[in-house]
Amino acid sequence: MSIAICFVARTGIVLGTDSRVTTTGPEGDTREDAYPKLVQYGPHPIGLAMVGAGSYGGRDFRALVAETYRECRESNTPVTVEQAARAYADVAGGIARESNATTGMVVLVAGFSPGEPFGELWEVRLPEGNVRRLTRPKSQTFVWRGRADAVQTLWWGANLGELATTMREHDIDEDVAQAVVKDLKKKCAWGPERIAWGMPLSSAVELVRFQLETQIQAERWLPGRAACGPPTQLLAINDSGLKWIDNPFATFATVGS
């Protein structure tokens, strides 16, 4: 499974993941903490981060991004963030469907389009190839995907998913349940006060790294084998370009260069 986090503010974008991958074979599951889940799209200020299925059609995530980039470059397609997201949905989604894949992959595609003053975040879901924009104009966007229960519990002051399940199990009226959750967020939420549209990019980097490390460390002490693992992979993007912050797999971190 793993975790991916993206924070889009006026000052730029921070995109990060863990590094654990689980592979299922005839002798059971194996886990490795050396899987590139965060890839730069050629020389462009665009990053792609994944959670979910580790490969389709014998291609790992980096190979899927590389094939997408190669096809776009050959067709001289201009590269906006939306175009990169839709190209990945078409190419990688086609490979996934051709291989009859049933396991899902979620990809966050974040970056700056040519001439645009603010960053964008798009989401691609495979194998279906669904694409949607997650950012709103001039408003911060904070997104978790994958295993994020520990950081979301910290963020909201409670595990809201478990709270909702418990209230349903006790036949609490839906309107009452929603009011309880809203009131709990208002009283206990830690996260919303920590972010702002104008937050310095350096602070945003530290916030995203803190949340990645929180989820990784929380899972270390849970029963069973953790789905998230170190090291963190982290990059920042603004209108001057893309900069790697935590790049443990530098050889595999960019395609088409």
Mean pLDDT of 143-157: 93
Of residues 11 and 71, more confidence is placed in 11
Q: How confident is the model at residue 14 (pLDDT cuts 50, 70, 90)?
A: very high
Indicate whether 254 pLDDT > 90: no
Mean pLDDT of 74-87: 82
Residue with tokens 């310095």: 200
Lowest mean pLDDT among 14-18, 30-34, 99-103, 192-196: 30-34
Indicate whether 27 pLDDT > 70: no
Q: How far apart are CA 51 and CA 220, in angstroms?
A: 18
For the domain 3-148+200-252, what is the CATH superfamily, name and number? Aminohydrolase, N-terminal nucleophile (Ntn) domain (3.60.20.10)
Computed over every residue of the chain, the mean pLDDT equals 90
Per-residue pLDDT, 39: 96
Per-residue pLDDT, 24: 57
Ordered by start, the domain boundaries in the chain are 3-148+200-252
185-243 confidence digits (pLDDT tens)? 888 898 888 788 889 999 999 999 999 999 999 988 888 777 899 999 999 999 999 99
Mean pLDDT of 109-131: 95
Q: How confident is the model at residue 25 (pLDDT cuts 50, 70, 90)?
A: low
Per-residue pLDDT, 23: 63
Of residues 60 and 139, more confidence is placed in 60
Kindly state the helix (H) or strand (E) to which residue 220 belongs, with its residue range: helix 201-220
pTM for this model (two decimals): 0.92
Q: How far apart are CA 86 and CA 113, in angstroms?
A: 14
Dihedral angle sign, alpha carbons of residues 88, 89, 94, 99: positive
Residue with tokens 């809203």: 182
Residue with tokens 């899972």: 219
Q: Half-sphere exposure of residue 87, counting CA atoms within 13 Å on the CB side?
A: 25
65 contacts 255 by C-beta, under 8 angstroms: yes
231: DSSP letter: P
Residue 126 C-alpha from the chain's centroid: 14
User: Which residues have CB under 8 Å from 219's CB, separation 6+?
Assistant: 147, 150, 226, 227, 228, 229
3-state helix, strand, coil in the chain (%, to 5): 35, 30, 35
Q: How confident is the model at residue 75 (pLDDT cuts 50, 70, 90)?
A: low
